[in-house]
Structure 1
């Protein structure tokens, strides 16, 4: 197929292109098209925006009389344009007529499906990665409070209510550090310079070695947002290739406009969290001669976990530590080490068994 002469309307009316935009089909083919025809990237982005906008339209069916009227109007517009003294291979009227027909047809077929998936982009990404149910682990926060999940590599993810993540089933050093996200979550990634940690969030791909950041990626939203608390991340965008488009450092925020695939980066200053769902990004984990009870309350409030310990026994214990760059479970391990305590972690319940402290 020769795409060198394609304009926006041609891509909108190309069934294969539409299937790629909506369902990710034939990704290799279309990535090759982008590579071979870099000058077509702008019109492909325009076509993609039109297709996604059409997918948001409500399902509808035109009556036979209305269909006939629509076709007559389009036909008359084409005839009128053809008679006009315009020296162009394709008039603007024909472009919009063709686009309108394809949009209405595509929108009707798309929205008249028997069942709409709750998270189209999320499930499509899993399908493309071939992460079927028996090859992945999915964690969902179905409650109203924060939920913390420990990943195989020691990293931790704090899920906002309604958020879900999936990651491959793996063992030991062969584990791929890849997570697929739908919703909002805060990541604290264990550092590993030999194996990057990758988050797929709608069209945004986040690549890190070890850092902490917050991602907001709801399927129905027009934006994908990421805020970096510590370290640095590299961003790329799907489906138009995987080349890094932005590097985002601590205290910076990146916003992806999903209809245009344009990423903007800005310094955020102080992060504004959802007051209804506070998260670790808003807390300080630098403790200077702090009472153990204060440390435990900070961690419980930040991560939505429950820490069980003998408060009377540890009443005289105080901690001095900087735990900002550590994932939750590494924080717990270091605290237990400082207290010479044994720790048992069962989901969001953490139990400390210590001998106590005495101040002299």
Structure 2
């Protein structure tokens, strides 16, 4: 490619250049171009400023006000750039209109396209020989937690940006392993089955469980992988080191894996993970209810799992529940609540509908 003939608009419309500015892809290539074509540095700096400024705009179609804001941002980015300041040339209106059209159209494609799978996550799937047609994948592209129900009855609360893959149709054989591959942060509630161990692969960490609840934080860019146990017990191993268990954890303990050395530390989680409220750890309550109004119970579940529960609030206004719903998956919690309320339940994705005739003092026994 002869970049000597490129101008600012050409760089703005170059997908590879845009990916470099936004994600740092092909850094070696574009750094070499920057050094090889010194006469193009001004155009490249201007193109970078346009791309960075346009990325701040939520809309793909620019109004006059937004266009003015874009140019102000461009000037700001140019002034703040570490390299020698450059002067923005005054091109004709059609020239900049073409550049704006390209960057806004490119932004639409950029923001609407599926997020690329992180490298560590992709390597895990490759090592497991799981092709796309052999697995199910769930990605939380929303801005709030999203609950995914697995074929075995387990539930996973995915934080924004998190993704999981698992073999389809699951684990039909009597003694097979239930395996899930994770990238990002998620909260797991595992349906107990002693004949089918549940295994989570999270970057270099491997988590083995039977029936329990725990949080995992395994971001591609982080230097650490963390698992926090809420209830039950788990064992942790490190994939590059084989199947040897390096840590056994029980309730309110955590393991932290340092990825560059593969060293694992076991810590007490204080306060218990159930009370933590951060953007990286799913907010999942203890679900200990004592003579609690049904409205409060439903609100707690909606908040924790990112679901919507429809029911006749007037009919159940006087209903109260006493329950200890610890590590049951979401579907099991709903089943127990419906049983106590003598209500029918329909679960369709993140929409849950309860049909009840009324209530009496209820205690859930589980």
TM-score (norm 1): 0.66
Could you tell me which runs of 5 or more consecutive residues in structure 1 were left unpaired when the two chains were aligned.
1-55, 64-115
The residue aligned with 1:305 is 307
Contact 1:145–1:277 (CA<8 Å) still a contact in 2? no
CA RMSD between the two structures: 2.6
2-structure distance, mates of 1:333, 1:163: 27
1-structure distance, mates of 2:140, 2:226: 20
Aligned residues: 254
Contact 2:209–2:234 (CA<8 Å) still a contact in 1? yes
The residue aligned with 2:220 is 219
The residue aligned with 2:156 is 157
Secondary structure of the residue aligned to 1:125 is: helix
2:282 counterpart (254, 279, 283): 279
2-structure distance, mates of 1:288, 1:137: 39
Contact 1:170–1:176 (CA<8 Å) still a contact in 2? no
2-structure distance, mates of 1:214, 1:165: 14
Secondary structure of the residue aligned to 2:317 is: coil
The residue aligned with 1:321 is 323
Secondary structure of the residue aligned to 1:355 is: coil
1-structure distance, mates of 2:242, 2:26: 27
TM-fit CA distance, 1:57 = 11
1:292 counterpart (291, 294, 298): 294
2-structure distance, mates of 1:347, 1:62: 49
Q: Deviations along 1:186-212, whole A, 9 cap, x unmatched?
A: 000011111110000000000000000
Secondary structure of the residue aligned to 1:321 is: strand
Contact 1:146–1:277 (CA<8 Å) still a contact in 2? no
The residue aligned with 1:21 is none
Bigger relative contact order, structure 1 or 2 (CA pairs below 8 A, ≥6 apart): 1
Change beyond 3 A, Cα 1:277–1:254: closer
Secondary structure of the residue aligned to 2:124 is: helix
The residue aligned with 1:256 is 257
Change beyond 3 A, Cα 1:172–1:258: closer
TM-fit CA distance, 1:358 = 5.0
TM-score (norm 2): 0.65
TM-fit CA distance, 1:123 = 0.7
2-structure distance, mates of 1:202, 1:171: 21
Change beyond 3 A, Cα 1:299–1:160: same
TM-fit CA distance, 1:59 = 2.7
Q: Deviations along 1:65-94, whole A, 9 cap, x unmatched?
A: xxxxxxxxxxxxxxxxxxxxxxxxxxxxxx
2-structure distance, mates of 1:222, 1:298: 33
1-structure distance, mates of 2:242, 2:172: 28
The residue aligned with 1:210 is 211
Secondary structure of the residue aligned to 1:145 is: coil
**Which moved further from structure 2: 171-180 or 264-273?**
171-180
